[in-house]
Amino acid sequence: MDERDAVRQVTAESGRGGTGAPSRRGRRVAGRCGLVLAAATLAVASCQSGGATSTAGGRAGAPTSAASPPAPSPSPTEATLNAEDYVLTEGPITAGFTASPADPQSNSDDISMVEVARCLGVPAEQLDDEDQDSADGPDFTNDADSLISISSSAQIVSPEKAAADLQILTNPRFGECFGQALQAEFDASASSGTTVEIVAAETPPPPAGAQGLLRISMGVTAGGETVGLVLDNLFFVKGRVEVSVNYSNVDNLPSQEHLQRIADQISGKLQIQ
């Protein structure tokens, strides 16, 4: 496998998760592995294709069972919301990208949220990974470079979970702790001849309308060649909805203007609840 194939594997094995909240339906490593942030779903990560799960956010490190408990129902006083109404959709902001349906077979495992929580001093028993509904948006692949992609996920949660997830997401040490947990996942799942090294996990100011931005910079080495990969993860938490948008780029950062336009679309949708 050459370095570009390795990058595709990394960005294709990672997750998309919900927003500051983890998603049960992960995405690709630059897109699918659920950050499960119990607040995060980053989408970045090293979910292994197939099924072995990480010890994340309330999901034990053993393979997930085929049957999952039924999602909690909203209380009689809560309006019924659909997660698919809040994911990123085609429009002017996706010009130059080709949309494809989210892969229903993508791994839904989460990054080691237990380790992130422990690093942040949050007791694991306080992590609630239940959602009332969840959905993955289309995968958008850049027409000029297939290693550049955008994906999104949304969850409908309780107000209590949204508040708890937002608290984790805005913790000053979230980027540091998440980067450590993600590196451990990469190390554990590294294939022969391929290495992934995280060189920075930062939380720069998010664009207006987003509640968080996690930027992971890494080097993917295969066949003696190294490719730089930047994974930007935008998190939105408003009312009972959590959304994450995962933007993978090679070497360069996505433009702040493009991130702002993405935030404008998602934050606009979040006004309707």
Per residue in 218-247, pLDDT tens? 998 887 888 889 999 999 999 999 999 999
Query: What b/e string do you get for 73-104 counting C-beta neighbours within 10 Å, with b at 16 or more?
Result: eeeeeeeebebebbbbbeeebbeebeeeebbe
Question: Token pair 């237990």 is at which residue?
Answer: 114
Which pLDDT tens digit goes with each residue over 246-264? 999 987 888 999 999 999 9
Mean pLDDT along residues 198-203: 94
Residue 71 domain flag: no
Give the chain's radius of gyration (CA, Å): 17
Residue 66 domain flag: no
Residue 36 domain flag: yes
Number of domains in the chain: 1
**Taking the C-alpha atoms of 45, 257, 93 and 245 in order, what is their torsion angle to the nearest 10 degrees?**
20
Which pLDDT tens digit goes with each residue over 71-125? 455 555 667 999 999 999 999 999 999 999 987 655 444 555 678 888 998 876 7
Tell me the torsion sign for CA atoms 199, 202, 204, 207.
positive
Q: Is the pLDDT of residue 61 over 60?
A: no
Amino acid 118: pLDDT: 84
Residue 73 domain flag: no
Query: Residue 207's pLDDT band (boundaries 50, 70, 90)?
Result: very high
Residue 76 domain flag: no
Residue 67 domain flag: no
Query: Residue 129's pLDDT band (boundaries 50, 70, 90)?
Result: low
Which structural domain, as residue segments, surrounds residue 259? 3-55+83-270
Beta bridge partners of 155: 134, 242
Residue 11 domain flag: yes
